[in-house]
Copies of this chain bind each other. A is one copy, B any other.
Amino acid sequence: LSSLSTRSLAADLQHKIDQKTKPAGALGHLETIALQLGMLQNTLAPYIRNPQMVIFAADHGIAATGLVNPFPQAVTAQMVQNFVAGGAAINVFCRQMGMGLTVVDVGVASDFDPILPIVHAKVAYGTANYQHGPALTAAQVTAAMQAGAGIVQNLHAQGCNTIGFGEMGIGNTSSAALLMSALLNIPLADCVGAGTGAHGEKLLQKIHVLEAVARAKQSAYGTPPDAMHVLEQIGGLEIAALVGAYRQAANFGMAILIDGFICTAALLVAHAQQPDILLACFFAHQSSEHAHGRMLQALGATPLLQLGLRLGEGTGAALALPILQAACAFVNEMASFESAAISGQTPA
């Protein structure tokens, strides 16, 4: 689009929204969503087609130590089995919302039966423990990003224009906190939260361990920190896959539903590489995970839901889909003042 036709489309969308039978602006954020979707799809009639959810699962070397995670590392693989069996929260919400669900093993630390209905794209058996060196090689990051992009290509080819992402990886709130601290230059203690359940002394231990990691990594990150170098240093493979998937989805002009703390941390990497990726992003919810609000603020993002969720798996993204659908529905289906013969607003 030329900038002239971009301006014209924005004005035409706003005019269409303002002619609907409601006071100007009365549908609040639904109006800004409709505008953003229309611009993204280059249409006056935005729509959601074949919405999909993708979960990337991978393990983290540090989780085997138990230093940062109250659940054992084996839970990552167990939860993948739970996704396959249809018993996890994200299964329930995808069924409710009519979203397809793809589960991707991009780096779980154990083998799955090849006949399981998951995408087998394992890059490694988890990351290396970043306490003792880089979590990932540059080649591993690239491979995981390509795996993520490939999934999006397939779903786009199936007509999907709206995609939510989730993650599963015991220990990955620690990687997300390290990413946030490095890329937003925020003290680590303000980036570390309870994750799936670290409290009290366990939480202090998590902060202590991660602060030591951050200090040791500083020179490897570069000055200012380079997003890809940070990703190599602290992982993980599911986060790298998200980065590749986000970038591919944005390049296709798909609407991306950004989930919680870990998914937003992955967006920080993609955003460092491609700032206009935000045009494709819809921030599904504000997690109750400590620090997610500050991360959203740094991105200038307004979350659609604030339900106190802190589960991951893409659950917030699935729950926000009806809001995007409502934004499309009002633009496409509501009568205008003229068509409904409603008296217009008198000048204030």
Proximity string of chain A (327-345) to chain B, C-beta cutoff 8 Å, 1 when within and 0 when not? 0011001110001111101
A88 to chain B, nearest CB (A): 6
Assess whether A64 is interfacial by the CB under 8 Å rule: no
Distance of A25 Cα from B307 Cα, bound (Å):
11
A-B contacts, 22 listed (Cβ < 8 Å): A20-B89, A21-B88, A21-B89, A23-B197, A23-B310, A27-B309, A27-B315, A28-B308, A28-B310, A29-B308, A70-B345, A70-B348, A78-B343, A79-B342, A81-B340, A85-B335, A87-B340, A91-B333, A92-B333, A197-B345, A319-B322, A322-B322
From residue A85, how far is it (CB to closest CB) to chain B in Å? 7
Tell yes or no: A109 within 8 A of B by CB.
Answer: no
18 extra A-B contacts, CB within 8 A, seeds A23-B311, A85-B340: A22-B311, A23-B310, A26-B310, A27-B309, A27-B311, A28-B307, A30-B309, A70-B348, A72-B346, A74-B343, A87-B340, A88-B335, A93-B330, A96-B326, A196-B345, A200-B348, A307-B323, A319-B326
Which residues from B are CB-within-8-Å of A288? 28
Interface residues of A (CB under 8 A from B): 20-30, 70-72, 74-75, 78-79, 81-82, 85, 87-89, 91-93, 95-97, 196-200, 202, 288, 304-311, 315, 319, 322-323, 325-326, 329-330, 333-335, 339-343, 345-346, 348
The answer on a CB contact under 8 Å between A92 and B322 is no
Q: Find chain B residues with CB under 8 A from A323 CB.
A: 307, 319
Instruction: Name the B residues within 8 Å of A348 (CB-CB).
Output: 70, 197-200, 202
* 9 closest A-B pairs by CB: A28-B308, A87-B335, A26-B311, A23-B196, A29-B307, A92-B333, A322-B322, A82-B340, A28-B309
Assess the B26–A196 pair: CB atoms within 8 A.
Answer: yes
Let me know if B23 and A325 touch, CB within 8 A.
no
